[in-house]
């Protein structure tokens, strides 16, 4: 179940020497999607400024599944797949023209005045209500392929 959707077009400056979206810009766009999740769950700009608080990414895992051509319109569908008192686990899927092009899994910690801190009760409640089971691809680790 999608909690938040972020859309933006590919910028010409984001295209690499192969004629496709450069890997750094996948992460930029997925970061914008994380911001959209934060806004929707209640960690928006007003909250961040009033409380000297934010969500800090402590771990991320990107899977590049398919190329994104120049001129594409990007759609990131985001889900909350876990929440604890201080942590928010987010799953992003980057879609272009009806095809899944990348995924990103984010583990964010709530930080207030420079230290980890519990999420506000209303934020935790929204996240809990939105939480869905992690997809099978979440929680994987990177490692070498088995030798033959």
Q: Is residue 148 part of a domain?
A: no
For the record, the structure tokens of 115 come out as 């230290």
Q: What is the CATH number of the domain that holds 88?
A: 3.10.129.10
Does residue 147 lie within any of the structural domains? no
C-alpha dist (Å) from residue 111 to 117, 120, 128: 5, 11, 19
pLDDT in tens, the chain (148 residues): 899 999 999 999 999 999 999 999 999 999 999 999 999 999 999 999 999 999 999 999 999 999 999 999 999 999 999 999 999 999 999 999 999 999 999 999 999 999 999 999 999 999 999 999 999 999 988 878 677 6
End-to-end, the C-alpha distance of the chain in Å comes to 39
**Angle 23-41/121-130 helices, nearest 10 degrees?**
110
- Which pTM does this prediction carry? 0.94
Token couple for 126:
């929204």
Number of structural domains in the chain: 1
Residue 115 lies in a domain: yes
Question: Residue 136 domain-assigned?
Answer: no
């Amino acid at each position: 179940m999608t909690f938040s959707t972020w859309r933006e077009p590919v910028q010409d400056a984001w295209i690499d020497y192969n004629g496709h979206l450069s890997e750094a810009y996948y992460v930029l766009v997925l970061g914008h999607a994380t911001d959209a999740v934060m806004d929707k769950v209640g960690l928006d700009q007003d909250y961040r400024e009033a409380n000297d608080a934010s969500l800090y990414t402590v771990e991320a895992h990107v899977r590049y599944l398919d190329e994104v051509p120049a001129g594409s319109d990007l759609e990131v569908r985001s889900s909350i797949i876990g929440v604890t008192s201080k942590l928010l686990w987010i799953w992003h899927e980057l879609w272009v023209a009806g095809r899944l092009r990348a995924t990103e899994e984010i583990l964010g910690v709530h930080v207030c005045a420079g230290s980890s801190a519990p999420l506000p009760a209303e934020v935790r409640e929204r996240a809990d209500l939105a939480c869905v089971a992690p997809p099978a691809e979440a929680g994987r680790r990177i490692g070498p392929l088995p030798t033959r």
